[in-house]
Amino acid sequence: MIVEMKNVSLIREGRVILDRLHWEVQENEQWVILGTMGHSRVKWFRKNVAT
């Protein structure tokens, strides 16, 4: 397993964005995280995935 996140929640300004997310990325899988301009996809990736 490359990435494993268990029971991850994200609340921003009182709004639930993620609620008890469980996510696994296995070797040779490809994932895409989509969002509009101005959202912090790269910042999130660096904080949660990148070494």
Quick one: CA torsion of 40, 43, 48, 51, rounded to 10 degrees? 160
Single-letter residue type at 6 = K
- The 10s digit of each residue's pLDDT in 20-51 is 989 899 999 998 877 776 666 667 777 766 55
Tokens standing for 8? Answer: 């991850």
What pLDDT does residue 14 have? Answer: 92
CB-facing half-sphere around the CA of 22: CA atoms within 13 A: 0
Backbone angles phi, psi at 15, to 5 degrees: -105, 130
* Segments making up each domain of the chain, as ranges: 3-48
Asked if residues 8 and 18 have their Cβ atoms less than 8 Å apart, the reply is: yes
12: pLDDT strictly greater than 60: yes
Q: Hey, is 26 helix, strand or coil? A: coil
pTM for the whole structure: 0.52
